[in-house]
Structure 1
Amino acid sequence: MRTRPFTLLSALAGLTLLLLLALAPTAGAKATDLSDVAQALKQSPVYVHPDAADQLSKSQADALADKIENADKPVFVAVLPDTAQFPADSLLRDLRTQTGVTGLYAVRLGDRFAAASDRAVMPAQSVRNIADSVRTPGVTANTELTDFVDQALPQARGSAPSSWSGVPGNDGGAPVAGLITIGALAAAAGATALTVSTRRRRRREREDQEALDKLRTVVDEDITAYGEELDRLDFHPSASYADDAMRTDYEHALDCYDKAKTFMSRAHHPRDVRPVTEALEDGRFSLAVLAARREGRPLPERRGPCFFDPRHGPGTTDVEWAPPGGETRRIPVCAADATRLAEGRDPMARTVDTPDGRRPYWEAGPAYGPWAGGYFGGGILPGLLIGTMLGSALHSPAYAADYGGADFEGGDFSGADFDSSSFGGSDFGGGDFGGGGGFGGGDFGGGGF
């Protein structure tokens, strides 16, 4: 599990500052610009500007905040008046910069709505899809925001910022005596931060273990199948027809089998599965080369394994294929599956257990990302799987975390140190925002408003 240096120290410093802020008059009572909105969101997931209080009542805002905090997700919601004080074209990016916390940000600006997220929390396309689904002419702020949060929380990655825990409510100014107790409050806040950090660590360890257990069943089946393939191989290194090249291929295939078993025995995290399937893929290619040498055929071109089931061995050709409702893409397939497709039949797909029964692996969840990544390579795999459930997962923060794609996790304090190209979602007119590229000089790259 990736550790984050100085997390507790940073949390203590931030909490001490927030305690001082909490002992001053509340932000909600005097907020006038975006910096005040950002400060308020560091203390609570929901902020309602005084001039927009008629859009979301205090009880509605409190209920929304409770829902987000109970889910322990870095989701931020702001309800603001549609005025020149909050320019729509750069509002979400500027709010993210000033808040400084990796997360998913949703803003109701007058009667318009937009949202954007750091890629470590949710892919931009997912944000756009959810935002589009909740936009309805004449919808109330409470309905729109509640629907958005209900859909976003299960998909958001990461944890709520530690500054939300134990922060006093906005109940007016503090007595002078409160300043005397700041040291004790800071110490208590430190204990709270440690408790929150421990809870999150244990939750992540539990989630990792559950994902690894799913993978272990599939990988053990793959290792067994490869071992049986080696047992069936009618090759004797000492035979008169065997030359040094054949013996090298054979020994490498055996070494890959041993590596796969060793790597799996040492696996403690889902990402540890990737070297296992890399070894199996490498071993099967060695067997394909050995077979070509023995039969006097040209050596095969190195390409990925059969997309439908890597146990079929290296692909022998590329074909056009699309999942139900998805886009067409070229994939490597074995000769048998190429024939089945040409005859209009279904390929022999690798299936795995899902809550809905046995399904093709590309219709399963993100737990199978490291397994598939070892076979096909992390760089090209999302392209092969675009439009599938697993493909969507591989564009998600879970995949990024497994393959080193994110420096900050959801809920981390990054300040202004974040890549704007990885912060995207929808604009206030329903168009694309960010889209994984630049911001085009600060505008949202789409939709009129």
Structure 2
Amino acid sequence: MSQMVLSVLGTLVAVLGPAPGHADPQQYVDDVVATWQGGQPVYLDPDSGAITESQAEALAGRIDGWRDDVFVAVLPAAAVRQGPGDDADEASDLLDELYVGMGQQDGVYLVSFSGAGTYAAGYGDAPGADDVGRIVAGQVRDHTLGQVDQTLNGTLDELGAPGGDGFPVVPVLVAALVVAALGAGGLLLWRRRRALPRRRASGESVAGPAAYAPSFPTYGDQTDTVQERAALAREDVTRLGEELDAADPPLSDPAVAAHVQAALDAYADASRRVDALTTDDELRALGQTTEYARWQLHTAQALLAGTPPPPRRLPCFVDPQHGPSVADVSWAPPGGTLRPVPVCRACYERLTAT
């Protein structure tokens, strides 16, 4: 870590107290349990930077009066990165400690660790205890790491909590089936025409908007090796450090400082991982960590500028230096397989231009 980043980190310690990565793990458990036992079903750590207070209040509003055995906590990633072990193992241990701290009360426990992921555990015979793991896994699959509010609300939706954004399921399904039956032929024809790939002079193919995915599999038509991609990843981590150095935002506002702290935590985590990349899964995990760091930094800068925080998006697939993506398109290299990729505004216009 460069001297400037160390300087920024030192300033953050003065503003926020000890850095979350060095906090006593038991303190997180004590704070969460005290909130839950005080009648509040949602605990939001001020250093998490993952959701706002109003979003936490909305989550609590869905649980209050519905069930008294559903508990939610949003913690910083550092809460499960206290040692060299796997995040999932540390998350499981922390969930068990929360269960013990609650006097082994049966229920559904949901904990998000910001950029380290969202985890759940069901204890005893509480409704949904057997299904919550599957439900959260599906929500995590369908959302990015930064979409903590959507992941938690989606989990509550599937558990049956009131106050969701959706319409009543049965009437909507009936209406959808009727419309589908009446217009199936035309709809299928329209979809087939819309999905028809267009081949560009460069040999690339584009087939219109694609469903967003937080990470992408490795395709057989990729010619670069893991070692080559790892070298690019190391360069990207170096650039991330330079970006943090150059930003040097003022930290007098605790909200801004919390976002910068989260970015620095993620950068430190990426720096630890970057020299031991041997698989595509490790590369994807590193990419999510660096993207999370940049998103937190950009959020801090938006707060300072008085503008809305940026949406959580992966960097442009064509070149991460283009910045965050704005859309996903189905794309293929010359002679390759179509796959969904995130692209910036300029690349989106280039690929979709007639």
Which TM-score band (shorter chain)? 0.3 to 0.5
Answer 1 or 2: higher relative contact order, Cα 8 Å, separation at least 6.
1
Give the TM-score normalised by the residue count of structure 2.
0.33
Give the TM-score normalised by the residue count of structure 1.
0.26
Larger Rg: 1
